[in-house]
Amino acid sequence: MDVLWDSDGPLTVRQVGAMLTDRDLAHTTVMTVLDRLSKKGLARRERDGRAWLYRPTASREAYVTELMLHALAQTGDRSAALASFARRVSEAEAKVLRRALESLGEITRN
Amino acid sequence: MLPPALVLAAVATGIVPGAAMLASARWPHRSPAAAIVLWQALGLGWGLAAVGALAGFGAVGGSFGVAFGAVAGAARALREADLRKSAPTLLTIGRLAFLGAGALLLTLLCWVLVAAAARVFLARHRHRTLLSLLAHGDPKVPGALVVDHPAATAYCLPGLRSRIVISAGTIDLLGEAELAAVLAHERAHLRARHDLVLLPFSALRRAFPRSAIARRAQHSVALLVEMLADDRVLRHRPARELAMALLRFGASGLDATPSGALAGAPETDGEMAVRVSRLLTPVPRLPRPALALIAVAAAAIVAVPATLLLLPL
């Protein structure tokens, strides 16, 4: 997937395999992985002559944002899918906490 | 002797102000586990009593319990309607209406629970798939996955293949000891399967989106679960680390959070401060007699409607 993200255009299975030089992967292995990625909707593929061209469905940044939004979206009913350490707070509460943090920091220093 | 249906209706109605009292009470912060048990009893008791009351009004009186009486009532009503071929009596219609409402409520309650579980399962699956592509390990946070994003988040993905996720922003924000406290907090969530505690309350809230009490119940339980995990961390680590971590999280506010999702004020205002002050100035746990009283109350809240439903009176 990293190879697809780092590439400018769509890639064939052979090109992806060639870029994974650090690991000696069989052509079919790469093909299977790319096939599974496209079945999961993470990569899209299109015919180009006899070969399939693969491209990522969305950028890496878009997926990171999706993860973060899922983690931070605690408005409305908190999604029970995951448990955050700390919910987001309002700006007013953040100010109060910032003050508490400063006073706590002074106590430690003294 | 009052008819069981009336008693059940009274229990179902009485639980609502009871839950409101529990939601605004202060003692749950002293013994979150006891309070969670009481919340669960209230939820289960309400479900049993509400379904039971509706079924009870439609049930055939006499030596049956409400549950069997309801079945008998339904059978009789259908038989009468079928055999006479004439217009059903008002009593039959009323009985069927109550039985139908009871069955509908029971189906709704079961359905929302199943739907909530399914939704959570799918969301976690998607999240795990993305994590496997995007996140990486980091020696600073052993056992956790790191997502490269400047906003501070730390969360766990419960389940059989559980994950703890920390954002790069969090690693920048917190010191080593504070990070360890956060990890311990998340591990406590995972180990105790707090997500399963929360699930029915989230489901109930979704089933009754306009109900203030369903919302308050879910809020209360969510906060209590956080406190449970906080307390668990305190067994092995000083309270100060965790308090500092919470404060730094809160103080970092909305900086660098991805735009789009975070519209509107959070409903959870003040929670962070409550958790921090609880850590820094601990209050004594509830005394044993009080805990025993809560246990008895919880048992009674479930046992009374269950008995009325099942036992012939």
One DSSP character per residue, B226-264 reads: HHHHHHHHHTTS-HHHHHHHHHHHHHHTTTTPPTTS--S
pLDDT score of B28: 93
Residue B302 lies in a domain: yes
Name chain A contacts of B124, Cβ cutoff 8 Å.
81-82
State the distance between the two ends of chain A, measured CA to CA, in whole angstroms. 51
Mean pLDDT, residues A6-12 taken together: 71
A50 Cα to chain B: minimum distance (Å): 28
Q: What ipTM was assigned to the predicted interfaces of this complex?
A: 0.70
Task: Work out the pLDDT band at A75, boundaries 50, 70, 90.
Answer: very low
pLDDT score of B252: 76
Cβ–Cβ < 8 Å for B159, B204 = no
β-strand pairing of A51-56 with A11-12: antiparallel
pLDDT score of B74: 75
Question: Could you tell me if A35 and A77 lie in one domain?
Answer: no
Question: Could you tell me if A28 and A16 lie in one domain?
Answer: yes
Residue B2 φ/ψ region, left for φ over 0, alpha for ψ in the -120 to 50 degree band, beta for the rest? beta
Look at chain B and report how many structural domains it folds into.
Answer: 1
Residue B212 lies in a domain: no
pLDDT score of B262: 40
**Cα separation, B48 vs B62, whole angstroms:** 20
* A88 lies within 8 A of chain B by CB: yes
Cβ-in-10-Å burial (0-12, 13-18, 19+) of A85 comes to buried
Question: Could you tell me if A78 and A32 lie in one domain?
Answer: no
Question: Could you tell me if A22 and A52 lie in one domain?
Answer: yes
Mean pLDDT, residues B213-224 taken together: 91
**What is the pTM for the complete model shown?**
0.83
A104 vs B244: CB contact, 8 Å cut-off? yes
> pLDDT tens for residues B81-132?
665 566 667 777 888 888 889 999 999 999 999 998 898 888 888 888 888 8
**Cα separation, A2 vs A37, whole angstroms:** 12
Whose tokens are 């890639």? That residue is A11
Interface test with B, best of A89, A96, A98 (most B CBs within 10 A): A89
Residue type, A80: A
Residue B80 lies in a domain: yes
Does residue B74 or residue B123 have the better pLDDT? B123
pLDDT score of A80: 59
Question: Could you tell me if A7 and A42 lie in one domain?
Answer: yes
B254 vs A88: CB contact, 8 Å cut-off? yes
Question: Could you tell me if A52 and A64 lie in one domain?
Answer: no
Question: Could you tell me if A6 and A50 lie in one domain?
Answer: yes
* A62 lies within 8 A of chain B by CB: no
Mean pLDDT of chain B, nearest integer: 84
B262 vs A72: CB contact, 8 Å cut-off? yes
* Structural domain harbouring A96: 60-109
Look at chain A and report how many structural domains it folds into.
Answer: 2
**CATH number for the domain including A11?**
1.10.10.10
Q: Is the pLDDT of residue B211 over 70?
A: yes
A69 vs B148: CB contact, 8 Å cut-off? no
Residue B86 lies in a domain: yes
Mean pLDDT, residues A2-19 taken together: 72
Question: Could you tell me if A76 and A105 lie in one domain?
Answer: yes
> pLDDT tens for residues A85-103?
666 666 677 777 777 777 7
Residue B60 lies in a domain: yes
A:B CB pairs within 8 Å: 163
* Structural domain harbouring B305: 1-25+32-109+288-313
- Least Cα distance to B37 among B221, B283, B204 occurs for B221
